[in-house]
Structure 1
């Protein structure tokens, strides 16, 4: 079996361009290698589907790959909403630093309840200053919030969860089984995923990156969110190419609707923590019953074993936990946590998830068994920590007008321009049929229902 297990070797693709995002870590190298992983698995799929006789050359534009790890969309005449809630951020406590993630109302409420303050930055700053980071982190998580104390790399590797993550594979493949892929006569070398239905139950940010990537090869992506859900700072960036609908999975009728959609899907991508789908009644056995021929890929924040495997988390929090922000602080000779210049754990994990989907499709098309893929932000952090930088003196990569497509994208918020594709494989390039749209603007049906 040849399911993707790690990043492709440098001799498997052609890298174009130089430069780097400023960081203690090899962020740009990770970006390029992540795109190359997508290219490698797409090349395998093209051959498995008999869409090409010879493996196409994989080319990755190093500069553009780095920029795709930031925002891919540049508004024309308007501004993107702020990514962060007014309270979210790093705070100095009595014995170190802690990050509060308060973008979601329920997470903000949990943190404020523990601190006993209104959601005002000055009040939060004073309250946090009197608390120990470990106790505060524990209390906020116990209340249903999300927070992360800053740890060094040594502290993380000695932590029970850090040790557990170090034992996780980069991509964990579980549950081997044979599947029968649907015929997709509309697939071509230029649009190899045309007709492929992807059911997307992911949110900020890795999962949406993966399904955006699949849409770029022609896949039909249906994203499902709870009614009223929004991610104003990121949706214009990651809803590209997708149909976005609302369903309340705690509602019997809406869960039944989801269970009607799942059998029609070829790929199921989700970001639920261990046990969360089971609690909704959508157990592995139920998914196997409804959609035995699906490819399934999932992720979580802190890994799939260990005491934090069910803990909520986001890229910025994992950077604090896993020693990345601490290492950045030492590298920058700063007096506060210094995160990566982009949310690289999210983006790299997203591209690896897309590559895992392509890998499973290629194996299935070749008549081999496939498995479910499990990834995590924390395991991607370990990959980044050991990845070497190509050139420590490389020129800093910053976007210029020529990095963007001249074509105007009429997004649901207003016009703008999208970064040019960083990946090409002969006639196969990433391009999107739909502009970015607001959540809930589509019905929870497959836009194309022909078999």
Structure 2
């Protein structure tokens, strides 16, 4: 068995500007639980290790960083569902219409988990959808089959929906957006103004206690980043729009956080007031969106000098698709990751076993935030970092090989811990990384989006 998680860790750590000797502090144990032609299991262990190492660096505050121990099985498991309900049923992960469809010249994926995106796609297709008679997959499939993939993709996107034609890796490399993403670094960072005073680490058992993180993200990547930070003591305040729901993800992605709702246009000053007390801002708005809300870089960093800001999006920060809505499953289709090895044009897409681009980008965002906090503690300077799902996808593709992946192990639930949530009890897997003697733990129960006031606790 050949592991490349350490090579990936060193690659990620270099990308975030970390000291090259620190990866020696990280050890890996256990077998992988994810099977793929791509090194998904290795990527999971590597980015979890990088986030743990960034935490150890911040906690050391100029001293010797603690040892970081990564459990490969749990790292892979935390790229998927971590919670198992007991006595109640969790909502379905996907909308009934979401999925892959055969079109006139290949395959296309429709992402319809958001009601607006569902309406947009069905409107383009001319498929009726009412509460009395919801649209069926058969009706959608029949209509999609008559559309060329590229034309349907463009029409759905123009209507405000989300779709991605299946492309090969070669087609993506020659695509204008693929070329733009290929020229992006895995993480870009610029330093900004001086903080007064910078926030240092908390106690050994909760090294991020005292840090305030403002979370303006949705779905998986950003929430995975802030979940990790909450697990080590950060106070996370998540702000969602008034009319967005994510019922299938709430039990996974609200644990450890206070979750509020605000209309950012109407409550712009409230956001700036919250930001004045924050240490770290993570947001998933597409390029230009924050500026249109009056919350551009100048306004944000004026409200909080020395702010550490991490920005993430789907398709990158340059190129014709930089403002396109996107999700992990769509980026897999666009970039060739989901393209089957078969030469059969009817062969369906083969997605990754988990939403690996989302989760990996989330841990990369957490790593960037923690490294920014360490730099701020050392120099007083704030920073702005950028990551994207598409660029993380290139990292995964770059390390693809035909090597023997070795045996797959089932996730061992014997160590899962009993947990009470807003919806009912269940068990959650233990955290995938230990820093010194510190393990992940959460002091705020998982609860619905909008269940808390828009204020620091």
Name the TM tier (shorter chain): over 0.9
- Aligned to 2:120, which of 110, 130, 134? 110
What RMSD over aligned residues (CA atoms) do the two structures have, in Å? 2.3
2:309 matches 1:285:
no
Deviation at 1:47, TM superposition (A): 2.0
- Aligned to 1:89, which of 77, 99, 109? 99
* Alignment map for 1:292-303 (pairs within 5 Å): 292-303=305-316
Deviation at 1:42, TM superposition (A): 1.4
* Structure-2 change in CA distance of 1:337 and 1:274 (3 Å): same
> Could you tell me which residue of structure 1 aligns to residue 7 of structure 2?
none
Q: What TM-score, normalized to structure 2?
A: 0.91
Matched positions, count: 438
- Aligned to 1:222, which of 213, 237, 241? 237
2:148 matches 1:132:
yes
The separation in 1 between residues aligned to 2:346 and 2:432, in whole angstroms, is 33
Provide, for residues 196-247 of structure 1, a one-character-per-residue CA deviation record: whole Å limited to 9, x for no partner: 1111000011000000011011000000111242211111101110000111
* Structure-2 change in CA distance of 1:2 and 1:333 (3 Å): closer
- Aligned to 2:413, which of 391, 398, 401? 401
Partner of 2:396, secondary structure, is helix
* Structure-2 change in CA distance of 1:233 and 1:31 (3 Å): same
Deviation at 1:183, TM superposition (A): 4.5
Q: What TM-score, normalized to structure 1?
A: 0.92
Structure 1 contact 4–171 (Cα < 8 Å) conserved: yes
> Could you tell me which residue of structure 2 aligns to residue 444 of structure 1?
454
Provide, for residues 321-357 of structure 1, a one-character-per-residue CA deviation record: whole Å limited to 9, x for no partner: 0101104x54999921110000000000000100111
* Structure-2 change in CA distance of 1:446 and 1:432 (3 Å): same
> Could you tell me which residue of structure 2 aligns to residue 424 of structure 1?
434
* Alignment map for 1:110-189 (pairs within 5 Å): 110-118=120-128, 119-183=135-199, 187-189=202-204
* Structure-2 change in CA distance of 1:391 and 1:68 (3 Å): farther
Consecutive unaligned residues in structure 1, runs of 5 or more: none
2:256 matches 1:241:
yes
> Could you tell me which residue of structure 1 aligns to residue 60 of structure 2?
47
Structure 1 contact 3–360 (Cα < 8 Å) conserved: no
2:70 matches 1:70:
no
> Could you tell me which residue of structure 2 aligns to residue 350 of structure 1?
362
The separation in 1 between residues aligned to 2:19 and 2:34, in whole angstroms, is 19
Query: Which range is displaced more, 122-131 or 4-13?
Result: 4-13
Structure 1 contact 14–59 (Cα < 8 Å) conserved: yes
Partner of 1:372, secondary structure, is strand
2:391 matches 1:365:
no
Deviation at 1:120, TM superposition (A): 2.2
* Alignment map for 1:265-344 (pairs within 5 Å): 265-327=278-340, 330=342, 335-344=347-356
Partner of 1:420, secondary structure, is coil
Partner of 2:338, secondary structure, is helix
Provide, for residues 136-181 of structure 1, a one-character-per-residue CA deviation record: whole Å limited to 9, x for no partner: 0011111111100000011101111001101101111135433334
Deviation at 1:3, TM superposition (A): 7.6
The separation in 2 between residues aligned to 1:305 and 1:422, in whole angstroms, is 34
